[in-house]
Structure 1
Amino acid sequence: MLGKITHHIHPEIVKYIENENLNYHRKFSDICHENLNISAFLYPKSDCVFPGFRRPINKEKSAQWKNNVYMADGTILNDNTFPRHIWAFLSMGKAYSGGKTGMWASSGLDRFELAHVFGHKPNERDLEKEVFIDIDMETKPYGLFTSASNIVLIPKGFAKPTDHMKSIKVCFYKRHIDLYGNNIVGLGSLNENCIPSWYEEMQWLAPVLQKDWKVKIDKLLEYRENYLERKYS
C-alpha cells in the first residue's frame, strides 16, 4: 500500500540539482559561516537543496533558535519547514508558507506529510549501520535534511511505518537506490540479505516529471541562493 501512495521526486530532477550543486559549491563556500563543515552538505552526488540547514537537538534550542545560525558549527537550525520548500516549488512554483491562508493548505499539500527515507541526524542511523556495508560515520548526515531524493510525500496518517518498521524502512532504502543510485553520504552498499523477500512484489508509484519542472527547480535554487546569502551575511 505504501508503495502505491508514496511520491518520490523524479531522478532527472535529482540529477539536475546534483549538477547545480557542483556549480554552487564555490559560491556557498564564500558566504557560509566559517565554522560550517561544508562536506556535511555538499558531498559527492549531493542533492542537498539548502546546505547549512539541519534539525536541532533539544539542548541547542535557545529562545530564538528557529532559522537562525548556530554559531558553534555554523549551521542553520530548522523545525522541518525548509524541506517543504522542495515540494512547494515543484508543485506550485512558489515558496512554502503555512497556516490556513498559506500555500501549503490552499494547494492541497496539507493532505500529505513529508518523510525522510534516511536519517539526517548522527544518532538516527542505527538501522543504516545494521543493513549497509562500509559505513563512514565521521561525516554528519546533515545534508540529508533537505536532500531532494531523501524526502518523500505520503498521505497523512500513513508515514509512521517509514519511521518505525525495519522491513518497511529497508524497502524504502532499496527503492531509493533503485531510483537514484547510492547518493547517501557515508553509506556503502546495501546488504542484499537484509532486503525482504517480498520486495520485488511491491508496486511503486512512478515519479512524475512535469513539463515545467526545470523552471520550477530553477526558481527553488534561486530562492535558496538569495535566502542563504541574506542569512549568512
Structure 2
Amino acid sequence: MDIALTCITHDPSARLLPFIREVKDKLLKLRYTKYITVSDQTSEKIIEELKMCGFEINIVPKAGCAAARRAAVRFMQGRMHKYYHYCDFDRFLTWLHDDIAGLEKVEAGLKGNDYLIIGRTDYAFGTHPASWRQTEEITNKIFSLQFGQEVDITAGSCAFSKEAIPYLVEHSKDSMTDAEWPMIIHRIAKLPVGYVAIDGLKYEEELNRSKEDEDSVESWMGRVSLLYVISESAMGTGKKSKEGNA
C-alpha cells in the first residue's frame, strides 16, 4: 500500500535527538516516504538528524500545534501518494520503539476508508497521567456520541487518503484538529471514516512528558480547557458549515 508518513515537531533544545538516534535504523528501514514539518525554532541538530533519517523537511513559523498540522497537510498537496499517515513526532518515536507491527494495523484500517482515526488500546491509554486520562475520557465520549461509534480521538495520530486532503485544507480552521479533521471528512466530505487502536501510542514519561503534565491545578485546568475546545469542535464542525449555507 502506498502510504507516506507525515509528522510535526517543535524542538528548540534538541530534546528528541537521543530518541531519534535510538530508532534511527528503524526509521531508515521504513518503506514509507517520510515528511516532517518543523518549527523555525527547531534545533539544527534535529533537522540534520532528520535529513539523515530520510525525511523531507518543511520549516514553518512556530504558531501552535493546529497550525503545524495544517501546514503538514498543505505540504502533502500535489504529491502522488495514495494515503498519508500523520503522527505527532514524539508519539511516532514511541510507537516505532515499541510497536512497529502496529503500522500494519493502520494499513489494514485504511482499506475502504478515506480517513482513519488512530487511537489507543486500553493498555496504551492506561499509561497516561491521570490528568490526561480523566479529561480525555470525557472528550472521547462526547466525540463518540457525535460520531456514532466508540473511539479514542485524542491520541495525536490519524491517516487519510489523497482525496481527503482538499477538504482538510479548505475547512480546517479550529484551534485543535483532533476532532475537527474526522468530522470534516465525515460530515462535509461524506467519505468513509474508520478506527483502529494501537498499543504503540502509549505514554513514556521521558519522551512524551511536557511541563504541563505535573499533578497541579494548572495542569488539570489546562487539560480541562483542551477538553472543552476539542469537544466543541466535535459538536460544531460540519454543522456550522451546513448552517452557514442555509
TM-score category by the smaller chain? under 0.3
The structure with the greater share of residues assigned to strand is: 2
TM-score (norm 1): 0.27
What TM-score, normalized by structure 2, do the two folds share? 0.26
